Chain A
């Protein structure tokens, strides 16, 4: 292939296809149910992180209240199921309720940017956590709500770890594709513009507030999907899922993986979920480890693991080709 751009694109495609195949193969090669469940957890948190990434990475708006939106979808679903609704109706209701909550979140928090935006989202997230904790007639308070069954889309029950993993993988791939399409679209470009030069965007004729609002709604949609997956995964929801630490963990996933990249959120989710679940079995102070890893990322790859790895690979590649051409030049002189 003579065209380096076309070659790079096809390399990316092949790598992407291989990655998807590897993800599909996980439940068939990994025998322990425990690890299949960990993989499901990574993917559902990857959907959450993708949603948060729309705001943090592409809009430049850091939200510390996203676990609240995650929780609204989760509670709405659990409440409907506990009330005896079917899965389809419960899921649709959960999406409608959480999107309404997202619109409220957006309307209140988009009055500000920067630190003020963070503080408003933090406060809103805490309010939702407080509601989950105290509005006992709806949420059952600290005891939470149990969900007894998983749905069976197209007659395929998701009761086994393996089938649930496949369903989660499908949702993740759809969320990833939606993010990829959005980022490359005119609206996605406009959103990135409002992140870098909001004043200029306004002068160029863009409705900066409205662009951010729709980005928030898209973010809320992905976050809600993750919340729904979460309830079906654990078959239980309690106020803990809405806690500030849950929002902070989501942010950690986005930033450590690489904010404003498509694959960063999944890598970040994998890092956090693995340290939290797997490493914690061996290391008691896993929180400390997570912190140490995060510090190391900030020091060595401040842009996140995915862009950092790309940068280092490119540098290594350049060094290798330079050496090669230097050797060739030296050879030619002789």
Chain B
């Protein structure tokens, strides 16, 4: 059974077709890279998969289960997690609190109005563990406003990992990072175990390429090329639309 199947997914805003009959099949444990020029519809595809946008037609399956019309939050409870290209964190809170909110989102405790959140030891321990994975455990108590851009990118990833997802959608995890920071994040992503399926959008081909098993090239909302790393890189259409020849 595939981890994620997208069939003939279409979406348009007025006359602008942002997704045209997109087909995608990602196997469990696979690392799939989605590339394409600006405006190709990569983030839109993520928003359709996570349910933040409703498709005009087509279907989405998560481990064989049709989730096309399912509310976004319920998909999270089925094991889907994402990060955002534009960092979307809680600016007034500490790094640890950001990750705690990610953990709480899947816990029935989130409805409890009577207990003190900061006394929930198991949540604090789990948040600490997630931050250790991304190397931020030393500054867990720092407020987000006092962190660097690179640290925030890692908080994004820590929040997604804390939810222990089966399918992880990473929207440009290297965007805006320095060369050193890119290497840190690359190592971090490479260390994610294979029981997590990863779909990643990335502009930075050099850093992302060797993480990918298969690559899908989008252009104007359409899948142009799909195949293994070597196949896609060698394909003349890739060169045409993406590598700029």
Contact = CB atoms under 8 A, between A and B. Distances in A.
A197 B76 contact: no
Interface in A146-189: 181-182, 184-189
A274 B67 CA distance: 57
User: Counting chain A CB atoms within 10 Å of each CB, which of B72, B77, B97 scores highest?
Assistant: B72
B212 interface: no
A203 B82 contact: yes
Nearest to A214: B113
B90 A204 contact: no
Contacts of B97: 189
B88 A205 contact: no
B115 A186 contact: yes
B72 A203 contact: yes
Nearest to A185: B113
A265 interface: no
Contact of A185 (B88, B101, B115): B115
A189 B114 contact: no
User: Counting chain B CB atoms within 10 Å of each CB, which of A181, A184, A185, A203 scores highest?
Assistant: A203
B117 A205 contact: no
Interface range for B: 20 to 34
A205 B80 CA distance: 10
A196 B89 CA distance: 8
A193 interface: yes
A84 to B, nearest CB: 36
A214 B111 CA distance: 9
A258 to B, nearest CB: 14
A206 interface: yes
Contacts of A190: 101, 104, 110
B117 A197 contact: no
A199 B52 CA distance: 8
Contacts, number: 85
A15 to B, nearest CB: 20
Contacts of B138: none
B114 A181 contact: yes
A181 B52 contact: no
A186 B73 contact: no
Contact of A205 (B77, B109, B112): B77
Interface in A283-310: none
Nearest to A184: B116
A201 interface: yes
A185 B72 contact: no
B102 interface: yes
B106 to A, nearest CB: 5
Contacts of A186: 104, 107, 109-113, 115, 117, 120
B176 interface: no
Nearest to B107: A186
Given A204-B101, A204-B102, A206-B73, A189 B117 contact: yes
Given A186-B112, A204-B163, 13 more contacts: A186-B110, A186-B113, A186-B115, A187-B112, A190-B101, A200-B84, A201-B105, A204-B76, A204-B105, A205-B77, A206-B105, A214-B111, A218-B113
9 contacts: A186-B109, A187-B112, A188-B113, A189-B100, A196-B90, A200-B89, A203-B76, A204-B106, A218-B113
Interface of B: 50, 52, 72-73, 76-77, 82, 84, 88-92, 97, 100-102, 104-107, 109-118, 120, 159, 163
